[in-house]
Amino acid sequence: MTEEIELTIDSVGVRGDGVARHDGKPVYVPFTAPGDRVLVRPSAVKGEMRGELVELLVPGERVEPRCAHFGTCGGCALQHLSDDAYVAAKLGWLRGALAQHGFKDIEIAPLRRLAPGTRRRARLALARNGETVAGFHGRMSHAIVDLRECHVLHPALVALVVPLRVLAAEILPRRGTAAASLTLGDAGVDVVLALLKVPDLAALEALAHFAAAHDLARLSWSADHAFAPVAQRRPVRAVFAGVAVDLPPDVFLQASGEADAVLSDFVLDAIDTPRRIADLYAGVGTFSFALASRAPVHAVEGDAEAAKALRDAAARVNRADRVTVERRDLTRRPMSVAEFARFDAVVFDPPRTGALAQSRALAASAVPRVVAVSCNPATFARDARILVDGGYTLAHVAPVDSFIWSPHLELVARFERR
């Protein structure tokens, strides 16, 4: 049996685990807070030391977590931190990521906080194995935590968890699993059920009944490379800068409507008054229509359905000349230096993996103003280094707590070339 050891947690790592030092090496202890004196059972996992919490001997900078599932559910990692420790952890990750790429004295704005209970997208796991369960996966585990409460999701999504559990009991075979992607649009919830096999007639009837009983805006299923809507009761839309966009099923959206507004404001503040803007990784136009109030926008997006939704929305409000849309894979075919010559401002908001290829081309361009939006400080800092090595100055970084209690952080950054 491994010997238990006593440790003092001194910081919070990027996955949300408390970090202590033992024999000069970091030991990661989930669900601990800075200042905690803990008894842990250490083990080596994939070359790093982890500690399973045996006993909290002396509490540090912690508070009582709000949620009964905290500690088992993989959704939240930081609910137990005091407010000061929470903010310090998130800003610490950002500073750490920047420092890794040689950025020492960058101006970082205070962490912009967003309200809990507002997340408008969720992917819930469903399983029927004896009991039927519906919820998030446990932390670093395939087990599903049967969700009874959630303080992150919007109440309209939480209200669907129990009905989804009942539906899963009805339509899933024994030992069957499924996933439900929920999106809260402006006129109700859109559900896509990912099933292991194409639903039979009885299951389709149950799905249609479910959509009506819970007043869903839309319900679809996917299985075996097939996809079909079951019910469309209202349009599934989001409104950006006054323009309604019809949302394709399960499309990317920022974490909440408040996140849309805060990020758009930060992007507008940073962009200044350009004459022509490229909006790269534009999605369904979260920033495109707001940016179009300043100058004509060329929006580039890799997902065909998102690009079409954005193009259709621009046409519907007669702004097809103000917001032009191009479907393009920016990893395989980044915008080139020659193409950038038409623009004096670029906004880019890539997925978590960042924008390596695109940043290299941008770094060689003469575009005077670049605004980056990112949900991953590590890939952001890597891409920022490429831009700065190409002659840009990283002028300002504004962190936004879109993903409350999770080990994720959103940010908006401004680059200038003089």
Active site residues: 375
Element (H, E) at 210: helix 201-213
Residues at the contact surface with ligand SAM, assessed by CB under 6 A? 252-254, 281-283, 286-287, 301-303, 306, 329-331, 349-351, 375
| Cβ closest to ligand SAM, residue 176 vs residue 407 | 407
Residue 55: exposure state from Cβ atoms within 10 A (0-12, 13-18, ≥19)? exposed
| Cβ closest to ligand SAM, residue 133 vs residue 347 | 347
Distances (CA, A) of 358 to 103, 297, 311, 380, 393: 21, 18, 22, 12, 17
| Cβ closest to ligand SAM, residue 148 vs residue 333 | 333
Nearest approach, Cβ of residue 351 and ligand SAM (Å): 4
Residue 107: exposure state from Cβ atoms within 10 A (0-12, 13-18, ≥19)? exposed
Q: How far apart are CA 297 and CA 310, in angstroms?
A: 12
What values do phi and psi take at 118, rounded to 5? -130, -5
| Cβ closest to ligand SAM, residue 185 vs residue 283 | 283
| Cβ closest to ligand SAM, residue 170 vs residue 258 | 258
How far, in whole angstroms, is CA 328 from its chain's centroid? 22
Q: How far apart are CA 364 and CA 56, in angstroms?
A: 53
Q: How far apart are CA 323 and CA 289, in angstroms?
A: 7
| Cβ closest to ligand SAM, residue 33 vs residue 335 | 335
The C-alpha torsion from 342 through 316 and 262 to 258, rounded to 10°, is -160
The end-to-end CA distance of the chain, in Å, is: 62
Q: How far apart are CA 65 and CA 33, in angstroms?
A: 12
Given a contact cutoff of 8 angstroms between Cβ atoms, the answer to whether 91 and 111 are in contact is yes
- Tokens, residue 322: 């103000």
Q: For the chain, what's the residue count?
A: 418
Nearest approach, Cβ of residue 279 and ligand SAM (Å): 7
